């Protein structure tokens, strides 16, 4: 029985007894050779939706992926499950002449390399059973990580034999992006599946600051007191700010509690690989990073995600907080906002409409989870309460009041004279960075709503 074979694959290779809805429907649709779009939140199990069909089918599966780190991570996990896989990219040399002899079940490749004249022809001569386009939102001009090469994929897929199956996968896509993907790839609405974006194990809290040193002190309190020795990620807007915060936290940590490093696209590939491996293995507990880290990274026990600055868009924010609590245990998401963040994002990004949505998200005083669900078109009932954010948790308002008082009087963490100097140096460096970007004192008009 075919269904039993699929369940056997699920159990044998992934050690799972049952699917999460709508994984089973997605797999069934793919195997029926219907073009499929899967919109599943971070941590929901997107990869299974193409890996199980790939193991079920006789020939290999071609996975189109945007990042080397993402490809390597997926290949590592497949090999750990005794599944043959390889990634083809600049750091992993490959003799194209031997492609026809490859026995791997999964081959990962970037859209740019796939569309090169050499590989384009190789794939046409050796077509896969299934093509999986990961991070499919990169296709859309309206998406938050647009990659021009993704725009050429519909024509490439049309040039292949009709027996080649197709699935598109993404964790975050607005309705506009979904419409774009459906139209370009010829995907029916009935073959589009979405999992719920409600993650009740993620407690979301937003704190506004009028002074930079208050925000940095609160960040120190979070990582040195509240979440000490737990696995966590701190997201920053720019590479330089990432390094500045990393260095400041290291200096501030006189007791050397933090196992900390930093990650951004400007580091050497081999350095990034080392940092990623250390974080995944637990040798590093705290990672300060830009949004370059995390896409597709599977670490189940991240207990907290802190945004040390305002993200550029709600899609990024949702994807990044989704890195916490993949094991479904209680985890915490802290968004720390200073008025200058808005002006920095306006300078760095052209998509002010997406930024406006992000501003509305933190400024609107209602359930944070409900606002996320509404953005992604998921309906909620009238008196919806998540019990997992500052507006829905009975005790959270009292806690917030106490935090406001402690922030006001700098009482939530004791500091030495040396630590106060570190804070002063950090604020100076951060301010200089923002002045370099053209961010002046006019940020006062964006003062917090608290």
One DSSP character per residue, 257-306 reads: ---EEEE-TTS-HHHHHHHHHHHHHTS--EEEE-TTS-TT---TT--EEE
Q: What is the pLDDT of residue 414?
A: 60
Last residue of a domain, one of 161, 194, 227: 194
Last residue of a domain, one of 194, 222, 243: 194
Distances from the Cα of 184 to the Cα of 179, 194, 342, 377, angstroms: 9, 19, 34, 21
Query: How far apart (Å, rounded) are the C-alpha atoms in residues 421 and 426?
Result: 9
Last residue of a domain, one of 140, 171, 194: 194
Q: What is the pLDDT of residue 41?
A: 85
157 and 19 fall within a common domain: yes
Query: How far apart (Å, rounded) are the C-alpha atoms in residues 17 and 301?
Result: 21
Q: List the beta bridge partners of residue 389.
A: 204
Q: Which two tokens stand for residue 151?
A: 């725009």
231 and 321 fall within a common domain: yes
pLDDT band at 353 (very low <50, low <70, confident <90, very high): confident
Rounded mean pLDDT of the chain? 85
Long-range contacts of the stretch 86-92 (C-beta < 8 A, 24+): 88/113, 88/119, 89/113, 91/269
Q: Mean pLDDT check: name the lowest of 77-91, 162-176, 396-410.
A: 396-410
Domain count, the chain: 2
302 and 234 fall within a common domain: yes
327 and 398 fall within a common domain: yes
276 and 344 fall within a common domain: yes
How many CB atoms are closer than 10 A to CB 306? 24
How many CB atoms are closer than 10 A to CB 266? 14
Q: What is the pLDDT of residue 221?
A: 87
100 and 180 fall within a common domain: yes
384 and 418 fall within a common domain: yes
Cβ neighbours of residue 219 closer than 8 Å, sequence gap 6 or more: 234, 245, 249, 306, 308, 336
User: pLDDT higher for 233 or 91?
Assistant: 233
Q: What is the pLDDT of residue 392?
A: 87
The answer, yes or no, to whether residue 425 has pLDDT greater than 70, is no
Q: Mean pLDDT check: name the lowest of 124-138, 145-159, 391-405.
A: 391-405
Tell me the pLDDT tens digit for each residue of 4-25: 899 999 999 988 889 988 999 9
Q: What is the pLDDT of residue 440?
A: 41
Residue 368, classed as helix, strand or coil, is: helix
pLDDT band at 293 (very low <50, low <70, confident <90, very high): confident
- Whether 66 contacts 134, CB under 8 Å: yes
Q: What is the pLDDT of residue 349?
A: 81
Q: What is the pLDDT of residue 212?
A: 83
390 and 244 fall within a common domain: yes
376 and 416 fall within a common domain: yes
Long-range contacts of the stretch 378-385 (C-beta < 8 A, 24+): 378/194, 378/196, 378/197, 378/198
Q: What is the pLDDT of residue 50?
A: 98
pLDDT band at 180 (very low <50, low <70, confident <90, very high): very high
Q: What is the pLDDT of residue 83?
A: 95
Tell me the pLDDT tens digit for each residue of 260-286: 999 998 999 889 889 988 999 999 999
138 and 275 fall within a common domain: no
310 and 227 fall within a common domain: yes
CATH number at residue 265: 3.40.50.300
Q: What is the pLDDT of residue 394?
A: 65
pLDDT band at 399 (very low <50, low <70, confident <90, very high): low
266 and 127 fall within a common domain: no
Tell me the pLDDT tens digit for each residue of 41-59: 877 889 999 999 999 999 9
Query: Residue 99's domain spans which residues?
Result: 2-194
Please give the average per-residue pLDDT across 124-143, as a whole number. Answer: 88
Residue closest to 248 by CA, chosen among 436, 433, 428: 428
Phi, psi (degrees; rounded to nearest 5) at 140: -85, 135
Residue closest to 21 by CA, chosen among 196, 200, 199, 197: 196
Tell me the pLDDT tens digit for each residue of 236-265: 999 999 999 999 898 888 778 899 999 998
């Amino acid at each position: 029985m075919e269904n039993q074979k699929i369940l056997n694959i699920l159990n044998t290779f992934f050690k799972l007894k049952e699917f999460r809805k709508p994984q089973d429907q997605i797999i069934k649709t793919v195997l029926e050779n219907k073009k499929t779009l899967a919109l599943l939140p971070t941590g929901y199990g997107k990869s299974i939706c193409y890996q199980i069909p790939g193991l079920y089918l006789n020939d290999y599966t071609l996975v189109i992926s945007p990042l080397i780190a993402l490809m390597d991570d997926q290949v590592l996990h497949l090999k750990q499950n005794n599944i043959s896989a390889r990634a083809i990219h600049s750091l992993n040399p490959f003799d194209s002449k031997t492609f026809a002899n490859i026995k791997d079940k999964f081959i990962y490749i970037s859209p740019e390399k796939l569309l090169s004249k050499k590989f384009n022809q190789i794939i046409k001569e050796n077509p896969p059973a299934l093509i999986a386009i990961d991070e499919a939102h990169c296709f859309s001009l309206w998406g938050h990580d647009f990659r021009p090469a993704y725009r050429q994929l519909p024509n490439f897929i049309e040039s292949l034999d009709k027996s080649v199956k197709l699935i598109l996968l993404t964790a975050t896509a607005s309705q506009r992006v979904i419409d774009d993907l459906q139209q370009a790839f010829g995907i029916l609405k009935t073959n589009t599946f979405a999992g719920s974006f409600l993650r009740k194990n993620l407690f979301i809290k937003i704190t506004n600051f009028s002074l930079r040193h208050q925000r940095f002190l609160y960040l120190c309190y979070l990582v040195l007191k509240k979440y000490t020795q737990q696995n966590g990620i701190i997201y920053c807007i720019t590479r330089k700010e990432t390094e500045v915060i990393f260095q400041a936290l290291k200096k501030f940590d006189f007791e050397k509690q933090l196992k900390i490093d930093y990650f951004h696209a400007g580091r050497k590939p081999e350095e990034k690989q080392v940092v990623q491996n250390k974080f995944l293995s637990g040798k590093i507990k705290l990672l300060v990073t830009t949004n370059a880290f995390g896409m597709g990274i599977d670490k189940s026990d991240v207990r907290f995600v802190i945004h040390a600055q305002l993200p550029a868009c709600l899609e990024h924010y949702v994807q990044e907080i989704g890195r916490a609590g993949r094991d479904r245990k209680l985890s915490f998401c802290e968004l720390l906002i200073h008025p200058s963040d808005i002006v920095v994002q306006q300078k760095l990004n052209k998509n002010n409409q997406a930024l406006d949505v992000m501003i509305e998200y933190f400024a609107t005083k209602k359930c944070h989870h409900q606002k996320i669900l509404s953005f992604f078109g998921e309906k909620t009932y009238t008196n919806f309460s998540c019990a997992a954010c500052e507006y829905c948790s009975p005790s959270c308002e009292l806690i917030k009041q106490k935090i406001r008082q402690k922030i006001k009087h700098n009482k939530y963490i004791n500091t030495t004279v040396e630590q106060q100097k570190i804070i002063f140096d950090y604020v100076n460096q951060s301010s200089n960075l923002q002045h370099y970007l053209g961010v002046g004192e006019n940020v006062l008009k964006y003062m917090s709503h608290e």
